[in-house]
Structures are given as structure tokens and as C-alpha cells.
Structure 1
Amino acid sequence: MVGKRELLPSRKSSIPSRPTTGRRSTKSYRDDNNRPGSSDLETGLYTNGNTNSDTNGITHEEESQEARNILSKGTDNANGKTTLWRFRDAANTALEDRRRDELKNALLDGINRDKLEDFRKSDEELKAIKNKQVRKFYENQNESLNDWLEVDALVKAVADDVLESMDPDPDHDGDDERGGGLQEMGGAIQSFLPEEEKERRRQAEKKAKWAININVLANIALLAGKLAAVASSGSLSLLASTVDSALDLLCTLIVWSTNRIVAWRLKTLQRKFPVGRRRLEPLGILVFSILMVVSFLQILQESVEKVMPLKGTAEALPVIAVAAMGATILIKGIIWFGCIEIKTTQVQALAQDCKTDVIFNTLSLLFPFIGYKADIWWLDPVGAGLLSLFIIYDWAGTCFENITRLSGQAVEPALEKKLLYLAYRFSPIVDGFKSLTAYHAGDGVWVEYDVLLGANTKLHRSHDVAETLQYCAEGLDEVDRCFVTTDYSEKGPTGHAQDAG
């Protein structure tokens, strides 16, 4: 406890010394201190396990009791602390609070966010710009302003609670003199986000859940219809469409199941995956994309085999096949247009998938229909081959994208600007930034900041600045993990071995 070491020496002269009958040897002193015993934590005096009189006639227990009697004159009986200790605890805690408040005020009030709005173009102003490139520039600028205002709101909401959570026991006596939000929430950062941001994320998650559920139900119903249609028709285009629907449903189930696994909070899984399981989803998509490519390579092979004899007969599509394909186009089109306005990553990916399904199923219906009406027997297998090539190309791109992201691909420029603004947001309390590295670890992003501080910066300030920046970065929806290091020189080693990769 703070103050104990200063207090005891000043009291030491008041404690009666033991009468001596002779000089005590060094060996005897060491032996006494090496014997097993117990320490009186409040007086700081040592008491060994033997309470009998020593060679001087005074027991250790009696000596400790005398010390307690002397110290009890200034002791608060409610908690066992001396008044002087309690005063020093309060004084040190007050100094810590003052230092933290100064840091907090410099961070929260150091940037004027209202100035950012001066650079925004309204919708009317954008419509008045005739040059498409100039209009696109200002649209991108508005998006950047939205990102920066999101960062600013995040810092204002999160930094306060994070700083309040630092060093809850400044006197190290085992009792927390103060507590912060991080302790109360078990380290979860999402609860500190601004209310509008939390509501936005809740709504986005809710809409994404509804969209995915509706898409799953639609895929199940449409797949059942297509299976019945394939059983009554020999069209390869229809077969390709059915395989696409089956694998599309499988893909959705993979995404759903991996999301559920990621959301589990089992202690066993947390110990086995200490930084989370967010990369399970891209790994599942990676495996599925390979399966998709292999499946359509098989359909492509069948298309080639059907064309190679250079003769055949055009077949009419049964009514059930036309109905199944038409229903697919209609339902997927409705889901596509319903998802366009929901600007979230998951829903936009679903909208893109539905758009692809509309195009794919339309062509799957047109190739055999036109082939039968025009009596072009090869149009159906050739169409199936072209559709297979399209699917192979599309999913090979998805496969490559997941591989590059899992391999640590650099983030997009827009997100890098957002992270740079977060660094700028901390400029009032740091000397600068030596480097910023942001890269994908699956769908999520890992970020590394190297912060410049003065060479004489106290450890507690360096820690509070770095960890607050770390929590603020991890509060962003795109960031899974953030690492912050500090430096006092803008030149020197980069912090990582350059041949490590």
C-alpha cells in the first residue's frame, strides 16, 4: 500500500527495542529470517512460527502487538487503515483522476468536428454538378466525411469509459478505489458505442437476418420445384440451374452455421481460439467455392460430350420446368430489389447473389426454349456450357478473393483513410504516428499503429494513450483486432523483421 514504507521507519524509534545480552551473529539473524512464519501485513513486521520467548526474553508476538497498539492511535476501525494511509490513498487517487481527466479532455475536445461539415455537398448541390467525375469526387468525399464523423462519435463515446477503467486500484491494496465501464462489461466494447451507432448496427443485423432467412426459404422451395422439373426434362441448362440452386442453398447454410459458431461464447472455444473464430466463415466459403467450381466443371464436361456427336434433337421444356424457372426469376428479383436499399455488407452480397441468379435462370430458360422453337438442337448444351463457364469464373474469383484476404491483403483505400482519421483524432495527445498498417484477416481487419511519444513520457500515460487507441479502433465495425506500439523516434527499426513474411 502507498505510504507504508514511509510510515514505518518514522515509527520505528517509538517501538521499544529489545534488550540485548550480547551481539547477535549474522548467521543467527539469517536463520531467524529463513524460518517459516507469517508476516503482519499492516505493521510490516515479521513473525515466525515460534511464539515462545527468544534469547532476549521478548516474543515476536508481543513485539508485533506493541507495534499494533502504537499504530492503532491513527487507525480507522471501519477498514483497518491508518488515517495517514487513507489520506495518501485519497491523494494519489485524486492525482491519478486529475491526470486522467486532463488526458481525456485533450482527446475529446481537441478536434472541432463541426468544421468537417463545411466540406459536405448537399444532395441538391450534387445534382447541380454536371460533370460526372466531379460529382463522383464529391460523393466519395461525403462518404469519407460520414466515416470520419463515425470515428469522432466513437472516440467520444468509448474513450471516456476506457480511460475511466484504467488502474482501478492505484494504491495496490487489493481494493478497487474506482471502476470503469470495461470492468463492468467484461471488456466488451460494443456497449459503449453511441446510441445511434448501436441502433444502426442492430437494424442492419435484423435486416440481414430477415433477408437471409427469406432467401433460404425461397431457395428450398425453388430447389424442390427444379428437382421435379429436372426429373421430367433432359435439358442441360435446366440441370445447371438446379445444381446452382442446390449449391447456393448449401452456401447459405454454411454461412448461417459458421455465423452461429462464431457467436458461441463457450469458455472451451474461447480458450482454443483466443482471438475469436471470425475466419471460419471465409474458410467455409473458400471450401464451398472450390466445390462449386468442381461441380460446374462436370456440367461443362457433359455439355461438351453432348455437342461432340454434332447431331441431336431439340427438346421442349415441360410446363413444370417453365413454372419453376419463372418462379425463381420472379422471387429472386423481388429479393434483389428489396435488398438494394439495405447498405450492409451481408445484405449487399445477398443482393448481388440474387441478381446473378436472375440472370443465370433467365438464360437457363431462354436457351432450351429458343432452341426448341428455332429447332437448334445444340443451343441448349452450348448454353449450359456457357453458363457453367460463367459460374466457374464467378466462383473462382470468390475463391481467389478469400485466399488473398486470409493471406493478409491490404485494406481498401476508403477504410485506410478512416483508420488514418482515427490516428489524427488522437493527435492532441501524441507527438505523431510512425506507421499505420491495416490488412485483412479474413473478412475482418487487423490494424497496427506505431505511435510517437516524447522520450520522457511516463509509462502510465504511454499505456493509457496506446490502449485507448486500441479499444477505439476495435470499436469500429470493420476491425477485429488492433495492436498499438509506442516509439520515441520517427527513425529506426520498423518493429518487425522484414524477412518474416
Structure 2
Amino acid sequence: MTARKPSLFSLPSGSVSDDSPPSRSRSLDRTAAHPPPAQSAKSNSRSPHRRPAQPHHSSSSHGFGTGRHFLVSEPDSIGSPPCHHHLVSLDEEAALEGDGSTSASERDSLLRHGHARGTDSPKRRLTFPSNGYGATHDGDGATLKRSESILRVAGLIDDRSGEYEQFRKSDAELAKMSKKVRKFYQRQNETLDSFLEVDEILENARAKAMTGELIPSVSAKQADSEEEARASIRWAINLNTVVNIVLLGAKIAIVLVSRSMSLIASTVDSAMDFLSTLIVLGTSRFIEHRDWKSNYIYPTGKQRMEPLGVLVFSVFMIASFLQVLIESISRMLDPNLEAPRIPYTVLGVMCATIVIKSGVWLSCRAIKSASVEALQQDAENDIVFNFFSILFPYVGQLVKFRYLDPIGGALLSLYIIIEWTQTLLDNVRKLTGRRAPPQEHQRIAYLLTRFSSRVVAVQHLSLYHAGEGLVCEVDMVLPPDTSLPVAHNLGEAAQYAIEQLSGIERAFVHIDITVNPLSGHLQR
């Protein structure tokens, strides 16, 4: 039987040198002169610690660009990368434990990076802090601690973090600019903020010890922020529930005192507020409830229920105020219409309603959620609605113009119908897969440019709504000679990183070997 030609396994040059070994072994007898013997497929699958491959510095004809190349034996036609880890080898994790089983001189020889002596390139080496993880540094530079990104260790991202911060404008600089120029730089600062989010995610990626699985990790700061956001949403919904119940009871009482059409419209609005709170509360509880059955029925989560609940409520709101509009028009055409009486008790209740709704609007303004935004819009409508609901009948009573009240009721009904029609259409567009704005595409494109230099091009970047969240589809072009493990690692790492961005519900990263105008999907 003829000997099998070893396969070529390539890694990007990235931030590590071409002489870097792909993995590090616990074994003390590892030498370049005595490579490990080939194992059978059966024994290889049982062994938890395979010997690392020997580095082979081939010419550029063996690979694309300036990648590192390693010869890997393929026992029994079963090829495998030179390490168990998707991004960092299992043996590297063991070497970085620093348990004293390996001498300092051997660790130094195993973990030394950089080119040969006499070159201009600085050395890069790994040290062994007490936390058990290696830290990369250049010369006498600052040591990278345990938070070192697994993507950087594996050479899958570059060192351009914060590259564009030099273009940020401070508040003092913005204050000196004209209005139009200031608006431009404010948008630029917002773009830089989205780039910082990308940098933070890429610099904090983790890998599970001993398994090699890349964790779509969330930093402690981001996890705390998400928990605070969920608590804020629950607080806003509960506050709206209590406020709407109290105001609905108060308005029913004042309508019995004064049969003003504008006040009837305001009472209907409060009833719809209470209904909206119930819909939002029920939807929120339904989304938060998770068990094996719901995970099976809804494999991508239940976040799309949120805009669906807003959609249902919008229909209720529009239908209710169409009835108020019809009643207002009928009163305007009534020649025997009597002017309503507005006592001071009614006036006081309506003023208190405006003040309370203003407080609710301010409390909901800073919370980013489709449900809370619907409650915020509802509170904003209530402020305007309640103000004119008392203004029209009260002024009509003062000037003794009886038709001013139904005119006000009709105008307020038209206002609510137009507002909620816009909300309805906005949620319909999101549920039907509308394309995301250019700012979102810029954020994804920046993230992809931070990855390995082996990425030749990025084509067919599609970002579209699937409810409130966004779905991302992107094709990355790699050289045709890229090995399957490297292509898999790049694609999977990019996919996990994209899904950690705020607002991204799901990401799909495809790998191509040629640049072509085809979208990769059938045109429907």
C-alpha cells in the first residue's frame, strides 16, 4: 500500500507569526526530529490527547497569501485538523494551565513566537500568569490578561480595534459647529458607537475549556445590561397597568357627569390603553415562558410575538376611534345638540391625567423595546388627546358654541386613527421582511472586515427584519485552497459574533470560493 500524501492545513497569519506552532503538547518528549507515529482511526478517536502536527514552512505555492501551513497525517483516510479545538487546541489549554508539570525552559521553547533572530519583526511570546491562561505581549508591552479573545489567540481577527475613534467629535467640538455640520458628525459618532460594540464583542470571545466550542459569550457588562433592560420592561408594563386602571375609572365617572363627545373619546382612549397594557403584558409573559416544549415548537424563539401583539392592538385602536369619529359627525349634524357642562371636578381630573401620563411617558422613553415603545407612544397620544379633550368642550362652554365639542371629538379621532395606522404599517413592514437601514449594514460590514486576511471578499450581505429583530445573511469568499477546518472556523466565528450584536436575531454565514453575482437562493 502506498503512503498517503499528507494534507495541508492552513491558518491565517493574522496577529501571530508564521513560525507559531498550531498547538502545544503536555508531553515532555515532543521534538521536531521525532514526529509522532501515525495512529489508526480507531485508536485516534479514543485518544483524548493527540500529538500536535509538526510545522512545515512551505512556499507560497502551497497556500493562498501568507498563511501558516502544517502537514497533517490522515490515518485511514480520516482527515482532521492538527488540534481538537475549533479555534485553539486542547493541548494549548493544558499547556497554559501552568501546573508545574512542565519546566520553564521547555515551556519557553514550546510557546516562543516570532521570526528568527536578526529579523526586524518583534518577538511575540506567551507568559504564564497565575490565572492559568497565557497572555500575549510584544516585547515589554502590556500583558493581555484572562479576558484575551479566543478569536485573537487563534489569529481570526486583526488588531484594528478602535481604529476609527480618531474621527469622533467631542461634545465641545460639536457645540462649535453649525447645525447642519453638527448633525453630520452626530450621525458619524453614532456609527462609531456601533463599531465600538463590534470591537467589544470580538475582543471578549471565549471558548469552552476542554471542548473547543466557541461560546457566543456575553460580557458581564452586557449581561448586566440585558438583565436591567428586562427589569425595566417589566417595571414599565406594571406601572402602565396600574395607571390605566385608575385613569379609566376616573374618566368613566366624569363622563357620567358631563356627556361631552371629546370626553367620551378620551374615555375610549383610556379603555384602549388598558387593553393595550393587557395585550403587551400577555405577550411579554408568553415570550418569557420557556420550556422544552416551547423550544421545540418555536426553535428560533418567540420574539416575533411582540410586534404581532402591537399589530393586533393597532387594529383595535383604529376600529374603536372610527366609531367615535362616526358619532362625532352625527352630533355635528344634529340641529338640537345641547352644549355639555364642564364642572371644576371634571377639569381637575383631566389636568391630573395629563400630569400622570407625562410622568409615564418620561419613564418609558429610555427603554428600548417594541412593547414599551408602544406604551410610550400611547402615553404621548394621551397627553395630547387629554389636553384637547378638555380644551374643546371647556372653550365651547365659555364662548357658548355647542358644535365645538363634536368638532374636537372628530379631530381627535382622526389624529388617533392616523397615528395608529402608521404604527400598523410599520409593524407590517417588519413582519414581512423589510430591508434594514444602511446603518445596520455598516455595522455588519465593519465586523466582517475585522476577520482574517484570508477573507478575500464579502458578497451578498442581506439584513432584513423578522419581526422586531434582524436576520443577517452574508457570503464570505475564501481562497479555493482553504482547508475545510479553517473555512468552518472562520464562518462559525463570524456567525457567533454577528448574533451577539444588539438587534440581531439570527445570522447565517455562507462560505464561497468565487465572487459571482448570484445570490445563492432561488428567486421567488
TM norm. shorter chain > 0.5: yes
Change (3 A) 1:416 1:372: same
The answer on whether the counterparts of 1:228 and 1:320 sit within 8 Å (CA) in structure 2 is no
**Aligned match for 1:100, one of 87, 91, 116:** 87
Query: What CA distance in whole angstroms lies between the structure 2 residues aligned with 1:450 and 1:346?
Result: 33
Could you say which residue in structure 1 is the equivalent of 2:203? 156
Could you say which residue in structure 1 is the equivalent of 2:273? 248
Quick check: 290-299 or 329-338, which moved more? 329-338
Could you say which residue in structure 2 is the equivalent of 1:447? 472
Deviation at 1:82, TM superposition (A): 7.1
Query: What is the DSSP-based 3-state SS (H/G/I as helix, E as strand, rest coil) of the residue aligned with 1:456?
Result: coil
AA of the residue aligned to 1:91: P
Query: What CA distance in whole angstroms lies between the structure 2 residues aligned with 1:460 and 1:448?
Result: 21
Change (3 A) 1:389 1:484: same
Query: What is the DSSP-based 3-state SS (H/G/I as helix, E as strand, rest coil) of the residue aligned with 1:100?
Result: coil
Query: What CA distance in whole angstroms lies between the structure 2 residues aligned with 1:87 and 1:254?
Result: 53
The answer on whether the counterparts of 1:107 and 1:429 sit within 8 Å (CA) in structure 2 is no
The answer on whether the counterparts of 1:336 and 1:355 sit within 8 Å (CA) in structure 2 is yes
Larger proportion of helix? 1
**In the alignment, structure 1 residue 115 sits paired with structure 2 residue 172:** no
AA of the residue aligned to 1:369: Y
Query: What is the DSSP-based 3-state SS (H/G/I as helix, E as strand, rest coil) of the residue aligned with 1:96?
Result: coil
Deviation at 1:178, TM superposition (A): 3.1
Query: What CA distance in whole angstroms lies between the structure 2 residues aligned with 1:453 and 1:100?
Result: 17
Could you say which residue in structure 2 is the equivalent of 1:40? none
Query: What CA distance in whole angstroms lies between the structure 1 residues aligned with 2:488 and 2:342?
Result: 71
* 1:21-43 superposed Cα distances (whole Å, 9 cap, x missing partner): xxxxxxxxxxxxxxxxxxxxxxx
**Aligned match for 1:139, one of 167, 186, 190:** 186
Query: What CA distance in whole angstroms lies between the structure 1 residues aligned with 2:222 and 2:323?
Result: 47
AA of the residue aligned to 1:142: N
1:158-307 equivalent positions in 2, closer than 5 A: 158=205, 160-161=206-207, 178-180=211-213, 182=215, 189=216, 192-307=217-332
Query: What CA distance in whole angstroms lies between the structure 2 residues aligned with 1:323 and 1:238?
Result: 13
The answer on whether the counterparts of 1:303 and 1:384 sit within 8 Å (CA) in structure 2 is yes
AA of the residue aligned to 1:112: R
Could you say which residue in structure 2 is the equivalent of 1:38? none
Query: What CA distance in whole angstroms lies between the structure 2 residues aligned with 1:274 and 1:332?
Result: 39
* 1:62-118 superposed Cα distances (whole Å, 9 cap, x missing partner): xxxxxxxxxxxxxxxxxxx97997497343799216883497436565132232221
Query: What CA distance in whole angstroms lies between the structure 2 residues aligned with 1:463 and 1:438?
Result: 22
Q: Provide the identity percentage.
A: 38
* 1:413-455 superposed Cα distances (whole Å, 9 cap, x missing partner): 2222212212222253422211100000111111101110111
Could you say which residue in structure 1 is the equivalent of 2:15? none
> Gapped runs of 5+ residues in structure 2?
5-41, 54-79, 89-149
Change (3 A) 1:469 1:312: same
Query: What CA distance in whole angstroms lies between the structure 2 residues aligned with 1:274 and 1:453?
Result: 30
AA of the residue aligned to 1:471: Y
Change (3 A) 1:315 1:244: same
Query: What is the DSSP-based 3-state SS (H/G/I as helix, E as strand, rest coil) of the residue aligned with 1:428?
Result: coil
* 1:176-228 superposed Cα distances (whole Å, 9 cap, x missing partner): x635464xxxxxx4xx2122222232333333332222222111111111111
Quick check: 134-143 or 303-312, which moved more? 303-312
Deviation at 1:285, TM superposition (A): 1.4
Deviation at 1:493, TM superposition (A): 2.3
Query: What is the DSSP-based 3-state SS (H/G/I as helix, E as strand, rest coil) of the residue aligned with 2:506?
Result: strand
Query: What is the DSSP-based 3-state SS (H/G/I as helix, E as strand, rest coil) of the residue aligned with 1:321?
Result: helix
Query: What is the DSSP-based 3-state SS (H/G/I as helix, E as strand, rest coil) of the residue aligned with 2:313?
Result: helix
Query: What CA distance in whole angstroms lies between the structure 1 residues aligned with 2:502 and 2:284?
Result: 16
**In the alignment, structure 1 residue 91 sits paired with structure 2 residue 23:** no
Change (3 A) 1:346 1:149: farther
**Aligned match for 2:488, one of 427, 451, 463:** 463
Query: What CA distance in whole angstroms lies between the structure 2 residues aligned with 1:463 and 1:139?
Result: 38
Give me the TM-score of the superposition, normalised by structure 1.
0.74
Query: What is the DSSP-based 3-state SS (H/G/I as helix, E as strand, rest coil) of the residue aligned with 1:157?
Result: coil
Query: What CA distance in whole angstroms lies between the structure 1 residues aligned with 2:465 and 2:302?
Result: 14
Change (3 A) 1:332 1:202: same
**In the alignment, structure 1 residue 415 sits paired with structure 2 residue 402:** no
Query: What is the DSSP-based 3-state SS (H/G/I as helix, E as strand, rest coil) of the residue aligned with 2:502?
Result: coil
Quick check: 425-434 or 266-275, which moved more? 425-434
Change (3 A) 1:306 1:351: same
Query: What is the DSSP-based 3-state SS (H/G/I as helix, E as strand, rest coil) of the residue aligned with 2:405?
Result: helix
The answer on whether the counterparts of 1:293 and 1:395 sit within 8 Å (CA) in structure 2 is yes
Quick check: 328-337 or 132-141, which moved more? 328-337
Query: What CA distance in whole angstroms lies between the structure 2 residues aligned with 1:194 and 1:274?
Result: 24
Query: What is the DSSP-based 3-state SS (H/G/I as helix, E as strand, rest coil) of the residue aligned with 1:293?
Result: helix
Quick check: 143-152 or 338-347, which moved more? 338-347
The answer on whether the counterparts of 1:144 and 1:414 sit within 8 Å (CA) in structure 2 is yes
The answer on whether the counterparts of 2:84 and 2:212 sit within 8 Å (CA) in structure 1 is no
Query: What CA distance in whole angstroms lies between the structure 1 residues aligned with 2:296 and 2:384?
Result: 46
**In the alignment, structure 1 residue 378 sits paired with structure 2 residue 400:** no
AA of the residue aligned to 1:436: L
AA of the residue aligned to 2:197: E
Query: What CA distance in whole angstroms lies between the structure 2 residues aligned with 1:179 and 1:84?
Result: 16
Query: What CA distance in whole angstroms lies between the structure 1 residues aligned with 2:81 and 2:462?
Result: 37
* 1:1-22 superposed Cα distances (whole Å, 9 cap, x missing partner): xxxx99xxxxxxxxxxxxxxxx
The answer on whether the counterparts of 2:261 and 2:328 sit within 8 Å (CA) in structure 1 is yes
**Aligned match for 1:368, one of 393, 397, 405:** 393
The answer on whether the counterparts of 1:434 and 1:490 sit within 8 Å (CA) in structure 2 is yes
Change (3 A) 1:353 1:294: closer
Give me the TM-score of the superposition, normalised by structure 2.
0.70
Kindly name which structure, 1 or 2, has the bigger radius of gyration based on alpha carbons: 1
**Aligned match for 2:457, one of 414, 432, 446:** 432
Query: What is the DSSP-based 3-state SS (H/G/I as helix, E as strand, rest coil) of the residue aligned with 2:204?
Result: helix
The answer on whether the counterparts of 2:162 and 2:196 sit within 8 Å (CA) in structure 1 is no
AA of the residue aligned to 1:117: E
The count of aligned residue pairs is 399
Query: What CA distance in whole angstroms lies between the structure 2 residues aligned with 1:433 and 1:381?
Result: 60
Query: What CA distance in whole angstroms lies between the structure 2 residues aligned with 1:416 and 1:456?
Result: 29
> Gapped runs of 5+ residues in structure 1?
7-80, 166-176, 183-188
The answer on whether the counterparts of 2:87 and 2:214 sit within 8 Å (CA) in structure 1 is no
The answer on whether the counterparts of 1:108 and 1:156 sit within 8 Å (CA) in structure 2 is no
The answer on whether the counterparts of 1:340 and 1:351 sit within 8 Å (CA) in structure 2 is yes
Query: What is the DSSP-based 3-state SS (H/G/I as helix, E as strand, rest coil) of the residue aligned with 1:446?
Result: strand
